[in-house]
Structure 1
């Protein structure tokens, strides 16, 4: 649509009906998975949940799902991590003020809805950049989980607690993706992946702690494909235990094992599937710069009546998925998405400038 005017509502840019309909479907799947994790916990499992801010906000639509996360928290074998409230890449902005505000807002949301105060931090899509480390320490975080990419590990294996400003656990990419991506692939050489086989792979490794991190929606996909993922989750803790391996939380890992210095943590940055996937092309870099500019202009109208409404819309336009969509396998599709989002951001900027005037 052309010729927008006035203060934009969320419905102008986002299909709220479609989002709500999709959530109602996946929410039921998440509810079943949460029950499954409770069964796994009774058998010795421990888990950590990194829930995006937009998803937690959507959970207000489904009190039963929200209560299931509270039950997990009350099991004392589950931790919830801190993150950015809009699932943004604000840690890459020149000024970290918005990043800090997002982290504080997310923490308050967890306190309100789940009654937890996170001390472990996971940035959006396991983003790691050294410059936020001291800030996180000042904000009360005691540990960090990030992507275990090659440039960060520099030849090491992600089987230790590492340290820079604070203790860091790095995701083991291959084993995580065995569960996340390959579990249901009948053509995969590791198929079928049963708990005993996976536990044997882990037992053959030398180290202190192994971090598995996977997307929750991938488990829903495996459920839909009629795989044995439910049986795997139930039996996995006992398969590990029989091999002398314990499932623990990030706080337990950091308290048990002495951290190892990793020099590259002070010089490199990384994100899930690589920085090139997030900000590797001109369209992504330009959109990121535009976000920074619009954010600066938004900060100048804090006293204006429509500031909070404009701020909310701006927040959702920062979601990492928007940047990732501009790097589609089909270059034309990625370009079309970029043009669409530039138009949206331009309209929001028009509204911010009019509000300031």
Structure 2
């Protein structure tokens, strides 16, 4: 018996505007609202709304036999609330069917697990609470940002109470072993590990619309047959991909929606195949072996490592400087700073600095607001510099920082006072001009009478 576990990732970052050096200390708003709204509305129209409508139709049609799982980042949820509340409602409609599982992840789609366990736990808790409030489910399964996983990270997740975690079925980790079984964490066997079948997942996510691919066109019947022909002993086929695969990465014209719509029927016509969500896989299958992952892996690029985000000196410097602020952020109570802190942690900002423009160049360019990785780095560091000034003012550590905070406060009060005086001056000028205009008609009539006399 084989079960298919379909999982979709939903995420969009808050992209920064072009933040110049001369903005530092003067302008504390970092985000490109127009771009963020435009991109989200485009993806909602092309992907989220039609795909959710289709999934709802498929779930109702197959009456409990078709199931899927999602993880939606906190920053994506915030954008839905701001720009496309109808998308959030469509996800809630899916949750109401009882056939869709929502997973936990880091609220900010961050790489904080690589830096600090306490901060990692706080973000995951924040995200899990959001999922429970919006969708009525307490997450049992965890999915880390970009499927980043190691034995150590898995142990942290297990101690947080999750029963299972998703990650990449990387070749350099598995060796001769198949990803199509259930594994467990090497340090804490209580945590079950579901490994992505990257070959079959990428056939849909990346190769589906490629007419030069030897298997093009890929039909749902052909795909179901491939799964059927796998070794009979293999138990679970984990198909993990970005939800934007449907309608965005693979446009509607490729036939991707038709493929998705007919896939359940083609799978279910084989009596020894079914669909399951991750928590069911973890509960119903037996672990075959521990997955030994001493160094972090991810689902990105050919290497399946962290080099997409931390592969060059720019990325490492930005990453280290960001998280050097953690001790102060743990003492921060300013809601605006805390919100900006979340948005600044998005892994996308480091991804834009990637210099790996060879085999994976097109992927790295997806919705990238910068022309070069160097522009991305400079822009990010400018934002980080201003954020650091604000944080130092809000949470000073020593006498020097306190003095600077006081000076910053004095300067801010001065600016407010100047602005207020300028507004009052402008009002006085406007009032004087109006009074002057009222007097003019009388003066004109007086001059006209004198001319007549």
Q: TM-score, normalised by structure 1?
A: 0.92
Partner of 2:53: 35
| Residue 77 of structure 2 corresponds to residue 59 of structure 1 | no
C-alpha contact 2:247 2:256 (8 A) present in aligned 1: no
| Matching residue within 111, 133, 138 for 1:117 | 138
Instruction: Write the mapping of 1:238-257 to structure 2, written as runs, cut at 5 A.
Output: 238-243=265-270, 244-257=272-285
Q: State the 1:336 CA deviation.
A: 2.2
> In 2, distance between residues paired with 1:2 and 1:184?
42
SS in 2 for 1:252: helix
Partner of 1:199: 224
Q: State the 1:55 CA deviation.
A: 0.8
> In 1, distance between residues paired with 2:295 and 2:354?
22
Q: State the 1:225 CA deviation.
A: 4.8
Deviations 1:230-270 (A, max 9, x none): 111111111111223111111111122101223523x2320
Q: State the 1:114 CA deviation.
A: 2.0
> In 2, distance between residues paired with 1:188 and 1:353?
54
C-alpha contact 2:192 2:282 (8 A) present in aligned 1: yes
SS in 1 for 2:254: coil
> In 2, distance between residues paired with 1:153 and 1:8?
49
Deviations 1:145-179 (A, max 9, x none): 11111232232110001001300101111111110
> In 2, distance between residues paired with 1:347 and 1:339?
13
Q: For this pair of structures, how many residues does the alignment match? A: 349
Deviations 1:5-32 (A, max 9, x none): 66964xx221012212222232233111
Larger Rg: 2
Q: TM-score, normalised by structure 2?
A: 0.73
Deviations 1:36-84 (A, max 9, x none): 1122222332111021221111121333221211121121211010000
SS in 1 for 2:166: strand
SS in 1 for 2:354: coil
SS in 2 for 1:211: strand
Partner of 2:182: 161
> In 2, distance between residues paired with 1:263 and 1:217?
29
> In 1, distance between residues paired with 2:85 and 2:291?
45
| Residue 253 of structure 2 corresponds to residue 214 of structure 1 | no
Superposition RMSD on alpha carbons, in Å? Answer: 2.0
Deviations 1:304-357 (A, max 9, x none): xxx221121121111111111111445981122112211211221121112223
C-alpha contact 1:147 1:170 (8 A) present in aligned 2: yes
Partner of 1:132: 153
| Residue 168 of structure 2 corresponds to residue 147 of structure 1 | yes
C-alpha contact 2:24 2:382 (8 A) present in aligned 1: no
The runs of 5 or more residues in structure 1 that have no matched partner are: none
| Matching residue within 16, 21, 25 for 1:2 | 21
> In 2, distance between residues paired with 1:289 and 1:6?
22
The 1:280–1:5 alpha-carbon spacing in structure 2 relative to 1, beyond 3 Å, is closer
Instruction: Write the mapping of 1:164-313 to structure 2, written as runs, cut at 5 A.
Output: 164=185, 165=188, 166-206=191-231, 207-221=234-248, 224-243=251-270, 244-265=272-293, 267-273=294-300, 274=304, 275-300=306-331, 302=332, 307-313=334-340
> In 2, distance between residues paired with 1:55 and 1:161?
30
Partner of 1:108: 129
C-alpha contact 1:82 1:106 (8 A) present in aligned 2: yes
Structure (1/2) with the larger strand percentage: 2
The 1:330–1:347 alpha-carbon spacing in structure 2 relative to 1, beyond 3 Å, is farther
SS in 2 for 1:75: coil
| Matching residue within 381, 390, 393 for 1:342 | 381
Q: State the 1:298 CA deviation.
A: 2.4
